[in-house]
Amino acid sequence: MKIIFHFFDKLEDSVRSTLSGYPVVYAFIGGTAIVLFWRGVWHVADTIPFLTGPVSIFISAVVLLFTGLFVSFFIGDTIIISGLKREKRLDEKVASEVKTELELLIDIQKRLGEIEREIKGDKKGTVGTGGTSDK
């Protein structure tokens, strides 16, 4: 069983890596597969006599709440986090706010590059000195 999981894990990595280079094709394949999956679930559910509308809602709500997927699926983690931080959603931010955040990230990236160069320079300057004199 472990060999089968390992095989499909490697296959999935390979397919995902290949399709990532073609995002539109990837979206069509993924979208079609998702629709077909839910179509199959719907047809199976139709064959079970007691799964009426209200019973289906109740069972699914209980399972989603129990697994912790209810809120994250219907609302999403980013919206919850931005609400806790009292931030605006990205679509609510004005272009200047987004640009300011981007400039801040670019500045941080430049500063990190400078720090990295300083560290590499210090390592080159101290190699071989050993901290003792040769007298």
d(CA 8, CA 4): 6
Mean pLDDT computed over every residue of the chain: 82
Amino acid (one-letter) located at 101? E
40 and 82 fall within a common domain = no
Q: Are the C-beta atoms of 60 and 53 separated by less than 8 Å?
A: no
Q: Does 111 map to a domain?
A: yes
Residues 33 and 75 in one domain: no
Compare 90 and 1 and report the one with higher pLDDT: 1
Q: What is the pLDDT of residue 102?
A: 81
- pLDDT band at residue 131 using 50, 70 and 90 as cut-offs: very low
When divided into structural domains, the chain yields a total of 3
Same domain, 30 and 7: yes
- Based on the domain organization, do 97 and 83 belong to the same domain? no
Q: 78 pLDDT exceeds 50? A: yes
Q: Which domain holds residue 118?
A: 93-124
- Locate 5 and state its tokens: 């999981």
Instruction: Work out the percent of the chain whose per-residue pLDDT is above 90.
Output: 38
Q: Does residue 39 surpass a pLDDT of 80?
A: yes
pLDDT at residue 134 above 90? no
Residues 77, 39 share a domain: no
Together in a domain, 65 and 43 = no
Residue closest to 63 by CA, chosen among 35, 41, 47: 41
**pLDDT greater at residue 91 or residue 69:** 69
pLDDT at residue 104 in the model: 85
CA dihedral 96, 101, 105, 108 (to 10 degrees): 100
Looking at the structure, do residues 120 and 78 belong to the same domain, yes or no? no
Are 69 and 41 within one domain? no
123 pLDDT higher than 60: yes
* pLDDT exceeds 80 at position 13: yes
The torsion of the CA quartet 23, 25, 27, 33, rounded to 10 degrees, works out to: -150
CA dist 43 and 102 (Å) reads 47
Where residue 2 falls among pLDDT bands split at 50, 70, 90?
confident
pLDDT for res 36: 96
